[in-house]
């Protein structure tokens, strides 16, 4: 299957700083990537859909000015958490799909963000 990587795997930052998380498709081109957030013992919640070369589509309740998504190339999408606060601490996961694979998504290993 397709391989998706994320960097960093974990990050600790101070409140008020910004953090960038990278999601890369390693062996294929990804026109669409998805960003999820997972709280402990809770579901993965879709935050936004990222499309190469266009603006991301955010889910209801997700602040687009706080969670900046850039999908500048077919292999890289970034999520920047701006002015992070402790309540932004969470596990962030990206995924993408392959055309013709009937909606199967391939997931990155996730990034653990801790805001102090």
Residue 76, SS3? strand
**How many residues are listed for the chain in this entry?**
116
Cis status, amide bond into 8, omega within 30 of 0:
yes
Stretch that binds other proteins, among 11-19, 27-35, 62-70, 71-79 (CB under 8 A): 27-35
CA-based nearest residue to 27, from 49, 50, 9, 5: 5
Chosen residue from 35, 97, 113, 115 binding other proteins by CB under 8 A: 97
75 counts as binding other proteins under rule CB under 8 A: no
Interface ranges with other proteins (CB under 8 A): 1, 4, 31-32, 34, 41-46, 49, 51, 57, 93, 95, 97, 99, 102-110
């Amino acid at each position: 299957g397709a391989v998706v990587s994320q960097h960093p795997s974990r990050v600790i930052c101070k409140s008020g700083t910004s953090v960038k998380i990278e999601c890369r498709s390693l062996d294929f081109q990804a026109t669409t990537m998805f960003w999820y957030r997972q709280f402990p013992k809770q579901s993965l919640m879709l935050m936004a859909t990222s499309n190469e070369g266009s603006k991301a589509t955010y889910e209801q309740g997700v602040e687009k000015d706080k969670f900046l998504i850039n999908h500048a190339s077919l292999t890289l999408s970034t999520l920047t958490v701006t002015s992070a606060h402790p309540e932004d601490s969470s596990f962030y996961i990206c995924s993408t799909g392959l055309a013709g694979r009937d909606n199967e998504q391939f997931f990155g290993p996730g990034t653990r963000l801790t805001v102090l």
